[in-house]
Amino acid sequence: MKKTNQETADKITFKNLRRLYFFALLTIAVTIIVSQVLVQYNLNQQLSDSKIINISGKQRMLSQKIVKEVLILHYVADTVSSKQISHLKNVLSLWKNTQNSLENGNDSLAFPKEKSETLAKLYIEVKPNFSKIAETTDLLLLNLAQKNKIADNQKLVEIILKNEGVFLSKMNQIVTQYDLEAHEKVTEQRRIEYWIFGFTLLILLLEFFFIFKPTNKKIERLIAKLLSSEKKALKLAYDTEIISEIKENSVKELKSLNYAMENTLLYCRIAPDGSIIHIGEKFAKLLNYTKFSSNKKFSEVLTTDEKEQLNIDRIIFEKHRSGWQGEIKIINKEAQSIWLDLSMVPVTIKKDELELLIVCFNITERKKAQREVERLNIENSTEKINQQKIISSKIVENQENEQNRIAKEIHDGIGQMLTGLKFSLESINLDDKEKAAQKIEYLKKLSLDIIKGVRTATFNLMPPELSDHGIVSSLSKLTQELSKLTGKEILFYNKTDFSQRLDSLIEINIYRLTQEAINNAIKYAESSHIIVQLSHSDTLLSIIVDDNGKGFDIHTVDKKRNSESGMGLLFMKERIQYINGRVFIKSIPGEGTRITFNIPI
């Protein structure tokens, strides 16, 4: 609205400016025309005056010529020829006509009829002399033509000469008066021109102050507005161009998006009653949808299963305002089962006009993969259960074996030695001091062997160093004891001077893992040197067991899970996982084996 009012005001201003300019130009034009009319009129008057002055002066010459011709004809010529008479008549006729035109006016000669009072008086005064000369000359010419009354001609000549002087005097006054009046007209013309010049300057000055100057200011303001409007128009054009480019890009993006949706997404638009408005190309190909089936409902096109159709119609009826998302199973025309992740979104196109946007994802392969994963999980669970059963049975078997071994060691070793100790004590004869002393020495040795056996048996069950001093001391003691018992060189290195105490459960598992690795190296690897290295960082404890034994093929042992060596590695992995650790086994046949335990601390 504001812009329209401004445009109306600008139009009114332009109209007023045009009117002012038109008025100014009209005033100047009228002034110029009036001045030119006056100037031309006065110039014409001056031209007429100059012509009158010239002819009035010529009248004097003609009067003198008439007198001269008369004198020649009367006194000088011996004979009067008709030619001379004719010439005098012509001069006399010209003189008469000219004098009559000067006195009474002549349109052809542009002589005015009206004269000033002075000129009118002078013409009245000169008229008798003019008439006397003209009449006398006519009489003279008549006498000369008839050649009679020569004595009368003398009188006529004298009359002519007498009036000639007066005529010349009067004509001089007339010429002088004409010249004076012409000069007055020139002066008047100059004064008029000065007045016209002054009036023109006044008009121009008034127009400058009241028209051109205000108009110039208005024009400057208008030009400023026009420049501002031009800038705004340029900016608007630039913005329009940018908007046009954005619009073109948006159209291109929409086309690309539409193409992508048509060829990549499974989507369609349906009415709340389930009728199809539009269906994407990819979705149409999946459902074998054609224009011949356009009169069918969405549920009928989606699946051939009547129960699923009823279910889909129910979902559309109940959720057409709130929307819905879920997985459905459909059966196409080829009787193939397809799983779809379907989302139904209500979209308001116009007021009280609702559509449903259906977007689907084909999750059939994912469903197949899930089923395969479930099947594999069941198989893995079954296998793990079987493995756990085997591990449990092996653990129970090992516990039984360990108990039998301990019982056998106690029975065969400690028990026999205790029995021998009993019999030896009973057989001591204090009376035979020498034999009694030998038996006492034997009993001392036997007691030491019993103590050693008990210590060995109890060491294998739970080393006291582990609970008293921690993992470092117990591993050091383990390597020393096993080295003494087996005669092999078993060395322990605490490379980072680890001295922390860990949870008792973690320490006993670390101990058993290391013990198992050393026992495997002693029992199966046939090694002569075993090195145990302990190192740590802020978050990790690492134990490495190296031997120079015969090594083995890891893949072959992994396949033989039911073998004793395979079960030993499996026990290690199960135990290390129990304390959230990891085990790494590297073995090269003929070169040796390295087992690394990494436990978070």
Choose the weakest-confidence range: 37-51, 332-346, 369-383. 37-51
In the predicted model, is pLDDT for residue 503 greater than 70?
A: yes
In the predicted model, is pLDDT for residue 17 greater than 70?
A: no
Q: Cα separation of 548 and 591, whole Å?
A: 6
In the predicted model, is pLDDT for residue 490 greater than 90?
A: yes
Label residue 389 exposed, middle or buried (CB < 10 Å: 0-12, 13-18, 19+).
exposed
Residue 384: its pLDDT value, please? 63
73-84 mean pLDDT: 70
SS3 530: strand
In the predicted model, is pLDDT for residue 591 greater than 80?
A: yes
Higher-confidence residue of 20 and 65: namely 65
Q: Cα separation of 10 and 5, whole Å?
A: 9
Residue 578: its pLDDT value, please? 86
158-170 mean pLDDT: 86
Q: State the distance between the two ends of the chain, measured CA to CA, in whole angstroms.
A: 79
Q: Cα separation of 321 and 317, whole Å?
A: 9
Residue 541: its pLDDT value, please? 95
Top mean-pLDDT range of 147-151, 319-323, 376-380, 475-479: 475-479
The answer to whether 159 and 136 are in contact (CB under 8 A) is yes
Q: Cα separation of 201 and 180, whole Å?
A: 31
Element holding 47 (H helix, E strand) = helix 2-71
The answer to whether 424 and 395 are in contact (CB under 8 A) is no
What DSSP line would sit under 264-327, residue for residue?
H-EEEEE-TTSBEEEE-HHHHHHHT--GGGTTSBHHHHH-S-HHHHHHHHHHHHHHTTT-EEEE
> Please, what sign has the CA dihedral across residues 93, 98, 99, 100?
positive
Q: Cα separation of 157 and 144, whole Å?
A: 12
Top mean-pLDDT range of 75-89, 141-155, 310-324, 506-520: 506-520
The half-sphere exposure of 11 on its side-chain side, counting CA atoms within 13 A, is 6
SS3 462: coil
What average pLDDT is seen over the chain? 79
pLDDT tens digit string along 79-136?
667 788 888 888 888 888 888 888 887 777 767 777 788 888 888 888 898 888 888 8
pLDDT tens digit string along 233-280?
888 888 888 888 888 777 777 666 666 666 667 878 888 888 888 888
Q: Taking Cα atoms as reference points, which of 496, 246, 261 lies closest to residue 357?
A: 261
Backbone angles phi, psi at 119, to 5 degrees: -65, -40
Any bridge partners for residue 600, and if so which? Answer: 540
Q: pLDDT-derived band of residue 77, with 50, 70 and 90 as boundaries?
A: low
60-70 mean pLDDT: 85
CB atoms within 10 A of CB 177: 19
Q: Taking Cα atoms as reference points, which of 334, 326, 324 lies closest to residue 303?
A: 334
Q: Taking Cα atoms as reference points, which of 506, 517, 502 lies closest to residue 596?
A: 517
Q: pLDDT-derived band of residue 396, with 50, 70 and 90 as boundaries?
A: very low
Choose the weakest-confidence range: 33-37, 426-430, 471-475. 426-430
- pTM (predicted TM-score): 0.35
pLDDT tens digit string along 49-60?
777 888 888 888
Q: pLDDT > 90: what percent of the chain?
A: 12
In the predicted model, is pLDDT for residue 190 greater than 60?
A: yes
In the predicted model, is pLDDT for residue 415 greater than 70?
A: no
- Name residues whose C-beta falls within 8 Å of residue 352's C-beta, 6 or more positions apart in sequence: none
Q: pLDDT-derived band of residue 333, with 50, 70 and 90 as boundaries?
A: confident
Backbone angles phi, psi at 347, to 5 degrees: -130, 125
Specify the DSSP class assigned to residue 502: -
